[in-house]
Amino acid sequence: MVTEGNESWMEGKSTLFQKRKERREADQLRRKQGRRFIKGSEITLDYEEKNGTWLGGMVSQDLGFDNRIIEVDWHIYPPNTHSVTHKHNEAIIIVLRGRGHSFIDEERIDWEPGDTMYIPAGAWHQHFVTSDEPGMVIAIKPLPIQEYLGEMNITYKGDEPTFNHEYRPGTFLEELKQIGKNI
């Protein structure tokens, strides 16, 4: 019987067990040193031309977190635009601002602030912002584990997004303060 803190394999003297123990200890140290917090003022928004959206990482390995399974970021879709049709592994999208609809495998889903969408793995989907304010969402995706397993992919159907090149978001904090003003 294994009790917490007393894993008998760790007492083994074989090279296999000793190397495994070393890897585990190095992994635990990396986890302790990983980032656990980010201030809103540190989040930067970058424009992604392929999809016509502004993106800002919140929790990702690129920002110093040691996240292994999920990643969280902001997506800001400019007003009166739509994304390219695409598919990837599963995602959860929480709508914070704007109004519109999405097609998920040809099913139309109307959304507004407070709504949550689940995008199944491999589902073709496209997002349309129909309001005069941007669509602002939190996207939660299992990218770290997919990357580790060699399964990270995104496929574009071949259509083009609708661009709004005049739209420029403020800072992340400025955009965050706009949430709820038009509900």
Compute the distance between CA of residue 61 and CA of residue 41 in angstroms, rounded to an integer. 18
Per residue in 83-102, pLDDT (tens digit) is 999 999 999 999 999 999 99
What is the chain's percent helix, strand, coil content, to nearest 5?
20, 35, 45
pTM comes to 0.85
Per residue in 111-153, pLDDT (tens digit) is 999 999 999 999 999 999 999 999 999 999 998 898 888 887 8
The pLDDT of residue 8 is above 80: no
Per residue in 13-49, pLDDT (tens digit) is 888 888 888 898 888 888 888 899 999 999 999 999 8
Q: How confident is the model at residue 2 (pLDDT cuts 50, 70, 90)?
A: very low
Q: What integer pLDDT is reported at residue 147 of this predicted model?
A: 86
Contact between 84 and 126 under an 8 Å Cβ cutoff? The reply is: yes
Give residue 127's identity as a one-letter amino acid code. Answer: H
List, as own/partner pairs, every contact residues 57-61 make where C-beta atoms lie below 8 angstroms and the sequence separation is at least 24, other chains included: 58/138, 60/143, 60/144, 61/144
3-class secondary structure, 48: strand
Q: What integer pLDDT is reported at residue 1 of this predicted model?
A: 43
The full set of domains in the chain, from first to last, is 50-176 (2.60.120.10)
Q: How confident is the model at residue 4 (pLDDT cuts 50, 70, 90)?
A: low
- Please give the structure tokens belonging to residue 35: 């980032």
Per residue in 53-80, pLDDT (tens digit) is 999 999 999 999 999 999 999 999 999 9
Number of neighbours of residue 123 by Cβ within 10 angstroms: 18
Q: Give the chain's length.
A: 183
Contacts of 161 (CB under 8 A, 6+ apart): 50, 51, 52, 53, 81, 82, 83, 84
Number of neighbours of residue 124 by Cβ within 10 angstroms: 14
- What rounded mean pLDDT belongs to the chain? 91
